Amino acid sequence: GDIVLLAKPVTLTEGDRVTLTTDVPVATDGTSKPEKLLYAVSLPPVHGQIEHINYPGVPISSYSQLDVVAQKVSVVHDNSHGAGKEALR
């Protein structure tokens, strides 16, 4: 089926960690299997990384909608200067 994706910017300040919820990236592909709907990070955050909460400090390049629903994915700012909005793509 068709895939629908809605994403809102995530605002971080230096050193912040924001856990993604379905308010930030939410997608549907017409099935009821969120573990099979995968996000690929094509453009990582400029001042940080996306991490699975079970593996802090390790950047990830993909995660599932099920991970988002379970609040297992975070965007982490790296303490560098230049805090701002990071858009997930």
Tens-place pLDDT, residues 45-65: 888 999 999 999 999 999 988
Domain count, the chain: 1
Statement: the pTM of the whole predicted model exceeds 0.85 = no
d(CA 5, CA 47): 24
Instruction: Say if 43 falls within a structural domain.
Output: yes
Domain that holds residue 66: 17-22+34-76
Report the mean per-residue pLDDT for the chain.
80
Q: Is the pLDDT of residue 44 over 50?
A: yes
Q: Does a structural domain hold residue 44?
A: yes
69 inside domain: yes
Q: Cβ distance 71 to 18 under 8 Å?
A: no
53 part of a folded domain? yes
Q: Is residue 6 part of a domain?
A: no
Residue 85: inside a domain, yes or no?
no
Instruction: Using the structure block, give the residue that is written with the tokens 């009821």.
Output: 32
Residue 51 within a domain:
yes
